[in-house]
Amino acid sequence: MTFSKLTLYLVASAAFFTAGTLAQAETIKVGVIATFSGPNAIWGKQFREAIDVYVAQHGDEVGGHKIQFIYKDVGGPNADASKAAAQELLVREGVKYLAGFDFTPNAVAVAPLTKQAKVPAVIFNAGTSSINKQSEFFLRTSFTLAQLAQPAAEWAAKNGSKKVITAVSDYNPGIDAETAFAASFEKNGGTVLEKIRMPLQTNDFAPFLQRIKNSGADTVFTFLPVGPATFAFTKAYNENGLKAAGVSFIGNGETDETTLDALGDQAIGLVTAYHYSDVHESGLNKSFVAKLKELHPGSRANMASVGAYDGAELIYRMIKAAGTDGTKAIEAAKGMEWESPRGPVKMDPVSRTVVQNVYLRRVEKGADGKLVNREFATVPNVPDLGFNP
């Protein structure tokens, strides 16, 4: 080999090596679509802060790639805004993973785009079982309503509830919760007197609660999206004297940590069936909660936080396994299992929703005088009970 040919060979080899190194070390962008403004801005806040915690604990590089999260506000349940945000993230920003999705319509709206672009989309919250049937690129690190409502019904039926009224927000997750709870409660010998569906945008629940109070029911089961509605319903339950009238309360996220103290001592004793409490007893949860308080003083971890934290964990794992190949990433994710601040989780390869523990929780005062959701019973390894392939 002559000197000039050797020189050209070395230059070409160096260029190839440099290009390969740069390609391997490229920044991978993750687009997070959520609500950062308006009355439901708590969702985006909790998502972002939990991702901050995850990155602080695990760094911003994985598999030789630097990870960049890009946030897009859609202002609430808004399918058109969600689709537009996804298009901008995919086309203009070049994201290779999507995430977030606090409301069901916002997730469903991007399903065709995920299939067209072959980009995984990790759902941090939206809990309608059928979402994941809309695209094979959806994965969910939150919960589904059937996953939570059925254990709630079984516990209620075994603990003295005989006649129940269900009261849910009138949209897909609420209907999923109503269906799962009613079927399970009746299967376990109970009677559902009435199924009330309340407008999604209302915060005036007094008329519904008066109806429940006068119905002869001994229990009300409720589901509303976490935020202003859950706070207003639970507050109205207390203020309208249902507890004094002998109507027990069982819900899912209605005693959310972000609004729990504002409910006051009247909330003590309320029971919910849920997949997370910020006082869950584990070393990982304690470190998660402590780092959140360090980075964002005054914030409190809730189900949105743990959905986003585990969503980041899943995305990091997929990037390590498959880089930017969306199809390979989805296949790699199926069956993945890890320890979460909520407890053990596993990605169901069929439903692509995490299998997880569901905890029965009761509101009580913690050692510091603040109200907490104290876990008192565990239903282990619950899959998405509402998913029909």
Opening angle at CA 343, ends 337 and 346, nearest 5: 20
Q: Do 223 and 205 touch, CB atoms closer than 8 A?
A: no
Cα–Cα nearest to 56, from 342, 312, 279: 312
Task: State the virtual CA torsion across 274, 381, 48, 83 in degrees, nearest 10.
Answer: -100
Q: Which helix (H) or strand (E) holds 148?
A: helix 145-158
Q: Do 153 and 184 touch, CB atoms closer than 8 A?
A: yes
Question: pTM for the complete prediction?
Answer: 0.91
Each residue's pLDDT, cut to its tens digit, for the chain (389 residues) gives 443 443 343 334 334 444 444 445 689 999 999 999 999 999 999 999 999 999 999 999 999 999 999 999 999 999 999 999 999 999 999 999 999 999 999 999 999 999 999 999 999 999 999 999 999 999 999 999 999 999 999 999 999 999 999 999 999 999 999 999 999 999 999 999 999 999 988 999 999 999 999 999 999 999 998 878 888 999 899 899 998 999 999 999 999 999 999 888 989 999 999 999 999 999 999 999 999 999 999 999 999 999 999 999 999 999 999 999 999 999 999 999 999 999 999 999 999 999 999 999 999 999 889 999 999 999 999 999 999 98
